[in-house]
Amino acid sequence: MLLGPRPEDLPRIPKVLAVYRVSAIITGLFLLLLCLMMVFRYGFGYDIEYTAAYGVQLTPKELISERGGIDVSTLILIAHGWLYVLYLACDFLLWRFTRWSFGRFLFIALGGIVPLLSFFFEFRVPRWVRDVLASAPQPVETAA
């Protein structure tokens, strides 16, 4: 049984959708950086490091702590994790306000895990939301 959004939630949906779209793009970009970092780390044995002397460079994993540089690979991992939490929060709020099925919530949640899927959802989810808003009964305003 499909439920539509509640009338009191209708004004909140566009705001949440705007934050969702931004979080989808940023999370997708960091996921691509994460995939690139994983190729360097597990494919070639290098991590991304920043040092004041040399800037950003690829360094063997075992030399990062010895050289005193900043481990950019770990920063990418941490940043993607927290950005994915923001992405999931926006996904949850859209799910709650639009009252979609739980399967759709899980499907959209894959956008932060499967590379490039968040960019697809950044364009697809607004269409789904527009369909929901178009089919929602508009609140009737009474003259006082």
Reported pTM: 0.82
Q: How many domains does the chain have?
A: 1
Burial bucket for residue 51 (CB in 10 Å: 0-12, 13-18, 19+)? middle
**Domain range holding 75?**
16-131
Contact 58, 48 (CB under 8 A): yes
> Is residue 9 domain-resident?
no
> Is residue 113 domain-resident?
yes
Distance between terminal CA atoms of the chain?
A: 36
SS3 57: strand
Long-range contacts of 84-87 (CB under 8 A, 24+ apart): 84/27, 84/112, 84/113, 86/23, 86/27, 87/20, 87/23, 87/24, 87/27, 87/111, 87/112, 87/118
- Model pLDDT for residues 33-92, shown as the tens digit of each residue: 999 999 999 999 999 888 888 788 888 877 776 767 788 999 999 999 999 999 999 999
> Is residue 7 domain-resident?
no
Q: Tell me which of 61-65, 93-97, 109-113 is least confident.
A: 61-65
> Is residue 1 domain-resident?
no
Is the pLDDT at 105 greater than 80? The verdict is yes
